[in-house]
Structure 1
Amino acid sequence: MSHDFRLKSFYKPAYCNYCTDLLWGIMNQGYQCTVCNAISHDRCLMESRKMSCTVKSGGYRPLNFISNNKIKDPLTAAVKTGHEFKVKSYYKPTYCHQCSELLWGLMNQGYQCTVCNFVCHERCLSSLTVDCTHLLSEQITNPIGHTWISPKSSANKRKWCNVCRKKITGSAMYCKVCRRYAHKYCIGHELNNCKECSSTCTTKTDFDHHWIEGNLTSHAKCEMCTKPCFTDLCLTGFRCGWCGITLHSSCFNAFIKSDKCKSCDFRDLSHMILPPYCVSMPISQRTLQQDETLEAISSTSFHITVVPTINEEMLGDAQEPVLVFINGRSGGNQGIELINGFSRHLNPLQVYDLSAGGPLPGLYSFRNVSKYRVLVGGGDGTVGWVLSGLDFMKDHLKCPVPPCAVLPLGTGNDLARALKWGGGYTGEKVMQLLYAIEDADRQPFDRWNVKFKEDFQLISEAEGAVECKTVTMNNYLGIGLDAEIALDFHQAREDHPEKFNSRLHNKGVYLQLGVQKTFSRDTSAELHQVMALKVDDKFVSLPTGLKGIVLLNIESWGAGSEPWGSHIEEGFEKNTYSDGMLEVMGLSGPMHLGRIKSSLQNGIRIAQGTNISISFSSTLPVQVDGEAWQQTPCEIEVNLLEQRAIMLRKSPNQQRPSSR
């Protein structure tokens, strides 16, 4: 039976049966069949006539049956999603959470769920992809709680609450692991559906996508249709919390049914991430075994940390996960922000805050992994802390010398400068940092054993005795002038720690201390009068007038200065950190130190060698890698460690766009 279409004026929203678009206009907007009430645009009339005409009862419907005649009642079709929809009138612009298009009309423009506030067109009821919250709660088999933190105020702009689906206008919280946003008063109603970072199944090697609704990045593109899917008009769209792919809500069902929907392969991070199916955690319902806990003990603190177990057999040959250590107290708030950023992009079980237990828990969890990389975020002292942890754990690690990258968060950051990671963190995105680690060059790195042998015959009764000790040196060792300034800085920070929370302020204090030394009366003895130097079993005479002596392993010193210089001089070679030699350099005074800092002059070259011995007969300030103290008369022996470290040197050509 053919349609009997007649031109008609519609006084409330009506939609074309063929294209499902709204009929626009004030009068005579389209055509309606007098037999079955089918509606059509003028432009769709020829195609609409090809559709079969079936007599229907019930009179006029704003949205009639679409062209395939498969859906009998949109509200009935929406029941499977668990929503409780009611027709609603909106008095300000409102957008469909399914197709992200505007709800047009003057009254009764769309439907809204009375439980979760989901909003949609009537035509979208039959293709919903988002289940109601009460139905989602029943689908969770392994509840994982969220880790809520307060973001910067700027991070809340153009965000929508994942609980009440309303726009965030004031303070809010977000999960640092899966990046769900919520009002503070909505957190108690959020589902425990955070990313699953470990697995209870020891045989499954594939992993499903973890879908998170809404709040997509501005450059997001749909994996199905390749069109932009970002919108800040409502909570819509989906993002995988692991691989980062994004979808339109309207493309979600088609993607799930297509060949593109495979197990999550983590995309760009597949070589760096620790897959959850490789990780298992101790079961909380039973008593922990001894090898599942680690006690990190110091003189002032005691930590008991539950560590995950990693099954290396389930790691692929190409996978080399990154073990991340960040000092949360470094760089002001930068350390905490980076911990949150790496926890979001990687598996949180491979990211550790050094201020909460040190490096041993992380190293212990990776003890059975034969191939991995390490990223250390902090100052030079933090890097030395992690390298010392590797030395301590070397007999228990399958990979005792993993390649290490440095993320500079301290004040001087000389090691990071020498490895081309820069003098400080300048806000690079976490993905760019991970790309840089992936492209970095592996370099052998010399490390040195420094032994202090006390000469008790030279210590006066008034000065007393200091316990002999052995330390490991990575960067440099200083005696005299530069160590005295480092010691004054350390004492000032101990007296007022609240003031030393920025890199700029710390450098200002160093400058102030150097200026004070320049204009103050110098009463210290010249080093050639109290010190003897032996390099490779040969005595070396010290120049007169020396106020400081420095042993260099790297070319950077004093927050970026290069005191050894690059000029060619007979009897001396270029300074490198992998040549098995140390450079012995002298400082003549504060003015000389200032000229070195200003790159106007180099230090006084004295010697180069592998085995160095220094003895002095009076108490002098000493610093190793920035850690300074007063040292009583002793003999210092510096020898090359047999085990070199492997450091990651940033590649100058690394530049990849970030997709997340």
Structure 2
Amino acid sequence: MAAAAESGARTWPGSGSPRLGSPAGSPVLGISGRARPGSGPERTGRSIGPAAPGHSFRKVTLTKPTFCHLCSDFIWGLAGFLCDVCNFMSHEKCLKQVKTPCTSIAPSLVRVPVAHCFGSLGLYKRKFCVVCRKSLEVPALRCEVCEMHVHPDCVPFACSDCRRCHQDGQQDYDTYHHHWREGNLPSGARCEVCRKTCGSSDVLSGVRCEWCGVQAHSVCSAALPPECTFGRLRSMVLPPSCVRLLSRNFSKMHCFRIPETVALELGDGDDGLDGSAATGLGREMLTATESTKQTLKIFDGNDSMRRNQFRLVTVPRLARNEEVTEAALRAYYINEDPRDFQLQALPLTILSGNAQAPGKAGTTEEEASKGSGPRDSMPEAWVIRSLPRTQELLKIYPGWLKVGMAYVSIRVNSESTARSVVQEVLPMLGRQVEDQERFQLIEVLMSSRQVQRTVLMDEELLLDRLWDIRQTSVRQVSQTRFYVAESRAMAPHVSLFVGGLPPGLCLQDYSNLLHEAMATKAAVVSVSHVYSLQGAVILDVTCFAEAERLYMLARDTAVHGRPLTALVLPDVLHTKLPPDCCPLLVFVNPKSGGLKGRELLCSFRKLLNPHQVFELTNGGPLPGFHLFSQVPCFRVLVCGGDGTVGWVLAALEETRRHLACPEPSVAILPLGTGNDLGRVLRWGAGYSGEDPFSVLVSVDEADAVLMDRWTILLDAHETDSTENSVVDTEPPKIVQMNNYCGIGIDAELSLDFHQAREEEPGKFTSRFHNKGVYVRVGLQKISHSRSLHKEIRLQVEQQEVELPNIEGLIFINIPRCWGWALRDSAVWARARSRVGCALESALPRAPTSALRSSRLLQYKWMVSPGFRPPGT
């Protein structure tokens, strides 16, 4: 076993330091330039002793208005109690009621580790970081699934406690408990228990269940039943126990079909800090503290040195060695005895990337004093090193536990192997009569961005394994767990949706095409479903490595000039759905109207199961309908304009023969420019920022109404070719009509608007602007006559109708057009409310193709939130 400090390396031993939780004389810590606790409050007095759970409270003198993080009330007077590690502030009277764990021990309280899904940087007003509890005054990150907010430099210290949205073969549960998330509640939030205000816009206080939405004080939450019933939206939520996804090689972004945006890169996409940014902030802090304090760069093991990622710690120049060691551990939220660690000096050659390896750098500087006396000068950079240990106390968790969280503690020494540990803990866990050879030891790294599982070899020495982890990162030990689980062969199975293929082919043709484009392996890849009209297939892959290869390759592959789309789809266990469950399938078009779909996507992912929310620009509506193909009863919510609704209804018509629920009710959240269909069905003129929860409640309470949908066959005239006297006949084109079908100036105008928005979507960011574009382009179009009546003939019930001099001909299915209600007049007539009736309207003074015939296709069930007749 290697020594903690190599020969010639300068060390700063932590021997003789006070016990953790007794931070007498603790220096002020600096985290990436933000003052660690109490740049406002001034420290006075000594620690008040150990405080549960895991906090290190001490009495401080308040120099600015401060609020208690437990009761959210103002702290009157000059004295408060502050945790030196996580910045939790409390009244003296509230100390005994504190139940919120300190950030340093929070990873040990996670029941089932689930990684987070962070999006891009954004500004979140009046929100707080769940790690350091500071306000988010700079661009921060937010989990797209559980709404956890963190500073970018606090991401490595966040717990892997995201919502568990599917079963993955690891600790699968059928019963779900409340998933509490602290703080960032609305200021008017009421506690479910005491009915008093539990939200605050001043501090991080109160808790909320991310599944059912119940809100409570952290103290009152213990009085609620532990089991979560998913609240008001329980009939619309796809239960996590009914969704299965084996996602060993895929990130959370891939599993939830969230496009990877340009986000802040922290190391290799896992965790870490930008050392250069911290350097500049550190210099500002050093200037502010003048000559009485000194700012140090603290690295955590070889990994942070390799990435040049460090934390800044500000200490008095006369600080003792043990005080600096303790401050360094607190900067990394390490809840261990400082006497087990030391600080090793790093020369500048290591920081500049010169030849020597991390952790083995020699130095010509004089070795640090080994006593506990004050120091006059300290080097700029240090690395935390763990001292060698002859034995350690190791927690072993049972991998088969369905309810609660339990573990057994055993001591391991230099001779303890993974097999010997399994044999020792099985009798302690009540499995002494079973075959011990069927069990194995699994190491789980609970990073905030990814949870990694590694099966340890039977002969692996655990003490050496822990030593290697601490050399890589001391903090990583607190994020590592060991599970004993039964060895079982898990059959790999991944469903991949591949779209963008040529339409109209058969199964064998699609298989050959994919083999040519991506060299698929026939032994592990098969085509399970073919959607020929949409040019898409579903691949069943029985090898995790091959599934990952195909997924990454498809995103960079084009077939016949069209790029492919690849999505990872879970399996819905429809036989396990509750009898009263009618899950909601949500489609959102983020490009519609005022571009409000992006925020709605995030909101619906948090309110529902993210597996039931689909972004239409990423594969269209077909992946959603395939996922719900075996669900016996479901509903659909379309968030977009009239064109988006027509897109989804067309896909529904093409796939209905594959669905167990062929006629689901469809609701609309109008995001488009005109939103005629939304007006008629009483969903309003357009979305204007209403609470997404209220929208879902309205969908749940809406009544179903019937709406006609028409199929229109466009057929071109037969023309004689000049060569060989061959008659050229273009194939007929079939389109479906929901609102209206226009020929002439209105069709030309709509096409120009659509093409302009596709070319420059950034210019079409509001409905008001879009309508202005319509007016401007329309005025340009009416400047010349098209004499449409000379180009077309209109027949109704085999009788020809004489057309006046018109510019357009419109067939209307709903009693509204472009936001106008039809009125009784010479031009406009109210449509009669009988099935099979459409209204023809003529626009005075336009171009066209020939309309051959039209017929009623079928009706669709739509849902309307009101009882009044549509269009009134």
Secondary structure at 1:304's aligned position in 2? strand
Shift of 1:336: 0.2
Q: What's the RMSD between the two structures over aligned residues?
A: 3.2
Task: For 2:67 and 2:864, locate their aligned partners in 1 and report how far apart those are by CA, in whole Å.
Answer: 49
Note the 1:470-619 alignment, pairs <5 A: 470-493=734-757, 496-518=760-782, 520-522=783-785, 524-527=786-789, 529-536=790-797, 538-557=798-817, 559-563=818-822, 565-566=823-824, 574-575=830-831, 579-589=835-845
Secondary structure at 1:156's aligned position in 2? coil
The range that moved more, 377-386 or 303-312, is: 303-312
In structure 2, stretches of 5+ residues that fail to align are 1-44, 250-489, 503-561
Note the 1:377-526 alignment, pairs <5 A: 377-457=639-719, 467-493=731-757, 496-518=760-782, 520-522=783-785, 524-526=786-788
Shift >6 Å, 4+ stretches? 458-461
Q: Which amino acid aligns with 1:319?
A: C
Task: For 2:752 and 2:113, locate their aligned partners in 1 and report how far apart those are by CA, in whole Å.
Answer: 52
Residue 493 of structure 2 is aligned to residue 289 of structure 1:
yes
Picking from 188, 193, 196, the partner of 2:156 is 188
Q: 1:99 is matched with which residue?
A: 71
Task: For 1:420 and 1:120, locate their aligned partners in 2 and report how far apart those are by CA, in whole Å.
Answer: 50
Question: Structure 1 residues 243 and 516, CA, compared in 2 at 3 Å: closer, same or farther?
Answer: same
Task: For 2:694 and 2:76, locate their aligned partners in 1 and report how far apart those are by CA, in whole Å.
Answer: 42
Shift of 1:484: 2.8
Shift of 1:439: 2.1
Q: 2:298 is matched with which residue?
A: none
Task: For 2:121 and 2:834, locate their aligned partners in 1 and report how far apart those are by CA, in whole Å.
Answer: 42
Secondary structure at 1:447's aligned position in 2? strand
Q: Which amino acid aligns with 1:552?
A: I
Shift of 1:211: 0.5
Secondary structure at 2:177's aligned position in 1? coil
Deviations 1:183-215 (A, max 9, x none): 232223222211221235798543200101112
Question: Structure 1 residues 264 and 74, CA, compared in 2 at 3 Å: closer, same or farther?
Answer: farther
Picking from 60, 83, 97, the partner of 2:55 is 83
Picking from 84, 106, 110, the partner of 1:140 is 110
Task: For 2:58 and 2:641, locate their aligned partners in 1 and report how far apart those are by CA, in whole Å.
Answer: 58
Shift of 1:85: 3.3
Deviations 1:71-107 (A, max 9, x none): xx9845x35x22233443333333332333444554x
Q: Which amino acid aligns with 1:583?
A: L
Shift of 1:150: 5.8
Q: 1:243 is matched with which residue?
A: 212
Secondary structure at 1:377's aligned position in 2? strand
Task: For 1:585 and 1:474, locate their aligned partners in 2 and report how far apart those are by CA, in whole Å.
Answer: 16
Question: Structure 1 residues 101 and 424, CA, compared in 2 at 3 Å: closer, same or farther?
Answer: closer
Native 8 Å contact 2:680 2:815 kept in 1: yes
Relative contact order higher in (CA < 8 Å, ≥ 6 apart): 2
Native 8 Å contact 2:188 2:197 kept in 1: yes
Q: 1:278 is matched with which residue?
A: 242
Instruction: Give the TM-score, by structure 2 length.
Output: 0.55
Native 8 Å contact 2:831 2:839 kept in 1: yes
Q: 1:601 is matched with which residue?
A: none
Question: Structure 1 residues 417 and 298, CA, compared in 2 at 3 Å: closer, same or farther?
Answer: farther
Shift of 1:459: 8.6
The range that moved more, 115-124 or 426-435, is: 115-124
Task: For 2:74 and 2:780, locate their aligned partners in 1 and report how far apart those are by CA, in whole Å.
Answer: 68
Task: For 1:491 and 1:100, locate their aligned partners in 2 and report how far apart those are by CA, in whole Å.
Answer: 53
Question: Structure 1 residues 227 and 460, CA, compared in 2 at 3 Å: closer, same or farther?
Answer: farther
Native 8 Å contact 1:296 1:358 kept in 2: no
Task: For 2:750 and 2:243, locate their aligned partners in 1 and report how far apart those are by CA, in whole Å.
Answer: 43
Secondary structure at 1:637's aligned position in 2? strand
The range that moved more, 90-99 or 366-375, is: 90-99
Picking from 180, 192, 196, the partner of 1:227 is 196
Task: For 2:239 and 2:580, locate their aligned partners in 1 and report how far apart those are by CA, in whole Å.
Answer: 13
Shift of 1:323: 0.9
Q: Which amino acid aligns with 2:574?
A: E
Residue 206 of structure 2 is aligned to residue 206 of structure 1:
no
Task: For 1:152 and 1:407, locate their aligned partners in 2 and report how far apart those are by CA, in whole Å.
Answer: 25
Picking from 178, 193, 213, the partner of 2:146 is 178
Deviations 1:41-68 (A, max 9, x none): xxxxxxxxxxxxxxxxxxxxx99xxxxx
Native 8 Å contact 2:582 2:634 kept in 1: yes
Question: Structure 1 residues 304 and 89, CA, compared in 2 at 3 Å: closer, same or farther?
Answer: same
Question: Structure 1 residues 645 and 134, CA, compared in 2 at 3 Å: closer, same or farther?
Answer: same
Picking from 636, 644, 656, the partner of 2:852 is 636
Shift of 1:317: 2.6
Q: Which amino acid aligns with 1:640?
A: L
Task: For 1:311 and 1:489, locate their aligned partners in 2 and report how far apart those are by CA, in whole Å.
Answer: 43
Question: Structure 1 residues 500 and 92, CA, compared in 2 at 3 Å: closer, same or farther?
Answer: closer
Secondary structure at 1:547's aligned position in 2? strand
Deviations 1:538-569 (A, max 9, x none): 12222332332111111122x21234x35799
Task: For 1:460 and 1:441, locate their aligned partners in 2 and report how far apart those are by CA, in whole Å.
Answer: 59
Q: Which amino acid aligns with 1:274?
A: L
Shift of 1:580: 1.3
Question: Structure 1 residues 499 and 85, CA, compared in 2 at 3 Å: closer, same or farther?
Answer: closer
Task: For 1:448 and 1:460, locate their aligned partners in 2 and report how far apart those are by CA, in whole Å.
Answer: 37
Question: Structure 1 residues 535 and 161, CA, compared in 2 at 3 Å: closer, same or farther?
Answer: same
Secondary structure at 2:601's aligned position in 1? helix
Shift of 1:151: 8.0
Q: Which amino acid aligns with 1:646?
A: W
Note the 1:6-155 alignment, pairs <5 A: 75-76=49-50, 78-79=51-52, 81-106=53-78, 109-149=79-119, 153=123, 155=124
In structure 1, stretches of 5+ residues that fail to align are 1-61, 64-72, 591-619, 622-630, 654-660
Task: For 1:646 and 1:482, locate their aligned partners in 2 and report how far apart those are by CA, in whole Å.
Answer: 28
Shift of 1:575: 1.6
Q: Which amino acid aligns with 1:575?
A: A
Native 8 Å contact 1:160 1:181 kept in 2: yes
Q: Which amino acid aligns with 2:795?
A: K
Task: For 1:371 and 1:287, locate their aligned partners in 2 and report how far apart those are by CA, in whole Å.
Answer: 29
Deviations 1:577-618 (A, max 9, x none): 76112222222229xxxxxxxxxxxxxxxxxxxxxxxxxxxx
Q: Which amino acid aligns with 1:132?
A: C
Native 8 Å contact 1:75 1:126 kept in 2: no
Secondary structure at 1:406's aligned position in 2? strand
Shift of 1:376: 0.5
Instruction: Give the TM-score, by structure 1 length.
Output: 0.72
Task: For 1:644 and 1:588, locate their aligned partners in 2 and report how far apart those are by CA, in whole Å.
Answer: 31
The range that moved more, 429-438 or 162-171, is: 162-171
Picking from 182, 185, 189, the partner of 1:216 is 185
Secondary structure at 2:578's aligned position in 1? coil
Deviations 1:89-140 (A, max 9, x none): 333333332333444554xx34333332223344444332111223221232
Question: Structure 1 residues 475 and 578, CA, compared in 2 at 3 Å: closer, same or farther?
Answer: farther
Question: Structure 1 residues 298 and 531, CA, compared in 2 at 3 Å: closer, same or farther?
Answer: same
Q: Which amino acid aligns with 1:293?
A: L
Task: For 2:740 and 2:679, locate their aligned partners in 1 and report how far apart those are by CA, in whole Å.
Answer: 14
Task: For 2:722 and 2:592, locate their aligned partners in 1 and report how far apart those are by CA, in whole Å.
Answer: 39
Q: Which amino acid aligns with 1:192?
A: S
